[in-house]
Amino acid sequence: MRQYELVDRVRRYNPHTDEDLLNRAYVYAMRAHGQQKRASGDPYFTHPLEVAAILTELRLDDATIVAAVLHDTIEDTGATRAEIDHLFGPEIGSLVDGLTKLKKLDLVSKRAAQAENFRKLLLAISEDVRVLLVKLADRLHNMRTLHYVSPEKRARIAEETLDIYAPLAGRMGMQNLRDELENLSFKYLMPEAFAMVSTRLEDLRETNRELIKTIEKELTEELALRGIEAEVRGRQKQPYSVWSKMERKSLAFEQLSDIFGFRVVVGDTDECYRVIGVVHTKWPMVPGRFKDYISTPKQNDYRSIHTTVVGPGRQRVELQVRTRDMHDIACFGIAAHALYKDGHEAPAPTLSHESNAYSWLKRTIDMLAEGSSPEEFLEHTRLELFHDQVFCFTPKGRLIALPRGATPIDFAYAVHTNVGNSAVGAKINGRLAPLLAPLVNGDEVEIVRAEGQTPPAAWESIAVTGKARAAIRRATRDAVRAQYAGLGRQIVLRAFERAGKKFSEEKLRPALPRLARSSIEDVLAAVGRGEMFSGDVVKAVYPEFKEERKAPAPDRSDPGWFRMQKAQGVEFKSPGAAGAAVPIRGLQGDLPVSFAPNGAVPGDRIVGIMTPGEGITVYPIQSPALAAFDDQPERWLDVRWDVEDSQALFPARIIVAAINEPGSLGAVATLVGEQGANIDDVTFNKKSPDFREMILDIQVFDLKHLNDILSRLRVLPMVHSVERVIG
């Protein structure tokens, strides 16, 4: 496309276009990309021009067209944001920056990089929706030329398009663009299925060509007799839409009854309902096939009336009835709000006050503030993108749009996070129903609440919406944190009592910097988890305090201490070994004692579970396995450690995620040995070609010893993460 052609395209719908701005952008991008080539061998500069051409079809403003021409300059050339701002203004600079990937992001996994790039893109979209329009046009042109890249890259890009960008276009109401993205992805991911469906559709189109013309003519004439001027056009489902319905409902091609439909476009909303009256009077309606999306629009702003009748020739005819404005939004979605109409300037690009779809996007982005990882955010966004919708009501008549398959749990969190967190039951249409019951269109849902309730962690796997899952995960974390903080408060109070000092939050608050914590609750939770010694809290508040002990405890994290003890012939035994007793108080008689599968160490709060005929199993109090014994209180035993002067080692399990390179296991094993711990067993779980998980069963003296080992492992250059397994 030549320079003058781009200007002509924009001038057709915007006579007041800034031609100088468009020309300067054309020349700047052409020089910046220089001799760069695409995979096809074409000059790279042809790509941003084609992206701009796609956006001229949407009749967008000058700034968006210029951003499209410049969208790869910062990422792929020596251009900088400051230079773009200086030459073209901060508005265009912001758009281009929002489209620039995180090229220098130091992330090992491609999935994390993809998720982080998507997060940055959505954040930029939340500032200016035109970023999304350019990005979708960019993806569309890349998909149109995808046959030039390698098969591996082709499959990855097509899958990403089908997973993220096509559904995102759909949720923004841009159905035409979504259809093309889906069909191109379908073509590259499943070429045989695409060819089969496309051939069948073409044959069907030829067979029914005359029938379609007959129905169009008869319907137009019938409406004209009633004084309704309407544009009636037949339409055919897209290949991917046909294929996905066949897969979803396990249907053969011949069983599909809605491959052909008709769109009726009229002047105003009143005429939409008049058309339905005429059609339903003339031809019998198919029960259960009437949907009014004018009175209850879809979340992507789509508005139409759908109905199916048994029409001419006893053919089932699906009709969509809408106005011209509704048709623009159905085809172009959020872009329709920014169209140039009748030569007038487009409205401002901030669409939150006009577009439900954009409001949904803003709410989705709000989940970024909940502390989720990029991968969690991508998962939640996919959940939101993929589902069709059901419409339910609160008892006061408020409409709540939810994904298909949603439950009262999702409904409760859609009303308000506090409603979801306190939900204990539900009434659907006035009747008590399980919180797991799937909702259907038109349900009136009342949530039964109980203050002080915490949502069970299991709800996270049941919830359908990303908002509900994020809120449940956050509430679960907060509940566990509160439990640790409560335990830590008791431990700290006792420590102050032993020291003969008075504890108060007012005195502890100034000491927070010395404890490297930002709040009192952080300190108490750290003590409760065993990450901080209660005596350190006393010393932080009363620096002059010195704890007196009969004999200083050996620093078993010091490798030198361990080697010295070995040299002196000291033997370290594991609990349960011959001649070694498990040092725990509160056990009954001579019952055999064992530890939970993932171990327990001194410093853990512990509980004993008695199994008749087998003995007693010792669990850490935070072990999720204890939930299985909640309804058997008679089996619980109150036990405590008795480890003074003990030289026994205790079992613990850790997971080390390390870079898959020679020497990783050796480095980990060497460090564990140097810290005076034994390794009982090692298993491997290969997570990816780059990373490998090592599951180590080790033996340590106590919780401090274990935490020291975990801390030292985390600073090894090849180690990505280290976690203790509690089970």
Nearest by Cα to 363 from 122, 98, 133, 128? 122
Is 505 a known active-site residue?
no
Is 544 a known active-site residue?
no
Q: What is the pLDDT of residue 568?
A: 44
Strand partners, 694: 656, 684
Q: What DSSP assignment string belongs to 35-75?
A: T-B-TTSSBTTHHHHHHHHHHHHTT--HHHHHHHHHTTHHH
Which amino acid, residue 138?
D
Q: Which residues contact 684 (CB under 8 A, 6 or more apart)?
A: 692, 693, 694, 695
Q: Which two tokens stand for residue 597?
A: 């599968």
Nearest by Cα to 36 from 64, 82, 72? 72
**HSE (side-chain half, CA atoms, 13 Å) at 255:** 8
Which amino acid, residue 164?
I
In b/e form, how buried is each residue of 345-359, taking b as 16+ CB within 10 angstroms?
ebeebebeebbbbbe
Q: Which domains are seen in the chain, by residue range?
A: 3-188 (1.10.3210.10), 196-338 (3.30.460.10), 475-541 (no CATH), 550-727 (3.30.70.260)
Q: Which two tokens stand for residue 179?
A: 């259809």
pLDDT tens-digit readout, 327-380: 988 888 777 755 444 334 444 444 434 566 666 666 666 654 454 455 555 555
Q: Which two tokens stand for residue 147?
A: 């046959």
Count of other CB atoms within 10 angstroms of residue 718: 15
Q: Where are the alpha helices (DSSP H) in 99-173?
A: 110-127, 130-144, 151-160, 166-171
pLDDT tens-digit readout, 573-592: 455 443 344 556 555 445 67
Query: Which one is catalytic: 76, 127, 216, 292?
Result: 76
User: Which residues, given as ranges, of the chain have pLDDT below 70?
Assistant: 101-126, 257, 313, 337-389, 529-530, 546-591, 613, 643-647, 686-689
DSSP secondary-structure letter at 624?
A: G
Count of other CB atoms within 10 angstroms of residue 586: 14
> Using CB atoms within 10 A of its CB, is residue 375 exposed (0-12), middle (13-18) or buried (19+)?
middle
Q: What DSSP assignment string belongs to 474-527?
A: HHHHHHHHHHHHHHHHHHHHHHHHHTT----HHHHGGGHHHHT-SSHHHHHHHH
Angle of helix 46-57 relative to helix 19-33, nearest 10 degrees? 150
Q: What is the pLDDT of residue 69?
A: 93
Q: Which two tokens stand for residue 26?
A: 């054309």
Q: What is the pLDDT of residue 338?
A: 52
Q: Torsion-angle region of residue 347: left (phi > 0), alpha (psi -120 to 50) or beta?
A: beta
Nearest by Cα to 232 from 261, 202, 268, 273? 261
Q: What end-to-end distance do the CA atoms of the chain give, in Å?
A: 64
> pTM of the entire structure?
0.54
* Cβ pair 246, 253 in contact under 8 A: yes
Q: How far is CA 480 from CA 39, 475, 477, in A?
A: 52, 9, 5
Q: How far is CA 321 from CA 169, 230, 276, in A?
A: 22, 10, 8
- Residue whose token pair is 């080539």: 37
Q: What is the pLDDT of residue 117?
A: 65
Query: Which one is catalytic: 75, 85, 160, 376?
Result: 75
> Using CB atoms within 10 A of its CB, is residue 678 exposed (0-12), middle (13-18) or buried (19+)?
middle
Estimate to the nearest angstrom the gap between the alpha carbon of 428 and the chain centroid: 29
Q: What is the pLDDT of residue 270?
A: 93
Q: What is the pLDDT of residue 389?
A: 65
Residues 106 and 476: their CA atoms lie apart, in Å, by: 31
Q: Which residues contact 189 (CB under 8 A, 6 or more apart)?
A: 155, 158, 159, 162
